[in-house]
Amino acid sequence: MSASDKVAKKHEEPISSQTLMNDGGFFHKMEDDVHEVLEREKRRDQLTDCNEIDNYPSHEHNQESGMKYGKTEQLTYELEKKDAEIQQLKHIITQWEAKHKEVKARNAQLLKMLREGEMKDKAEILLQVYELQVIINELALQVTTLHAALELQAELTKYQMLKACVPTGRVWKKDVLPKSGKRGKKKR
C-alpha cells in the first residue's frame, strides 16, 4: 500500500469533528495533512525539474520518456487532486477557527453574565441581611423598652401596694380592705 493510498484511506475514515475537537487533535491532524501534501508537491516539482534536465533527443530515451510522461501525468493528476483537497481542508480549517473564535466569545460573554448575576445575587443577599439586621435592632430596642416598662409597672404596683399598706392615722385605707362589709362589724 503506497503512501498516497494510506492518506486517501485516512481521509475516507469517518472521523467525527466532536471526537477531534475533544482530543484537541483536529488542528494538529490538519497541519500534518497539509505538511504531507506540501512534501508531495515538493517531490512533484523535483520530478518535473529532473524531466526537463533529461530531455535530450534519443530514440530509446523517447520511449522511456513516453512511459515517464504517462507516469508524470498520473502523478500530476494526483497532485492536482491533492491540491484541491488541501484547499478544501484549508477552507474547513478557516471555518473551524472562525467557529472556535465565536464560541470563545460566547463563552466569555456567558462567564461575564454569570459573574454579574452572582454579584447581583450577593448584593441582594447583603441588602436583605442589612434589612434584617435593622429589624433585629428595632425589635431588640422594643423588647428592651417593653422590659423597662414592665419593670417600671411592677415597681409602681409594688409602690402602690406598700403605700396602701402603710398606716396613716386610720388602720387601713379603704381600697386595700376587702369590699365586703363584714370586716369590722360584729354579728348580732
Looking at residue 77, the DSSP 8-state letter turns out to be: H
Report pLDDT for 52. Answer: 61
Mean pLDDT score of the chain: 76
Q: What are the tens digits of pLDDT across the range 42-60?
A: 888 887 776 665 555 555 5
Query: In whole angstroms, what is the distance from residue 23 CA to residue 31 CA?
Result: 15
The reported pTM is 0.34
Q: Which residue has the higher pLDDT, 11 or 159?
A: 159
pLDDT for 109: 92
Reported confidence tier of residue 62, pLDDT bands at 50, 70, 90: low
Confidence of residue 82 (pLDDT cuts 50, 70, 90): very high
Torsion over CA: 131, 132, 133, 139 (sign): positive
Bigger pLDDT: 70 vs 2 = 70
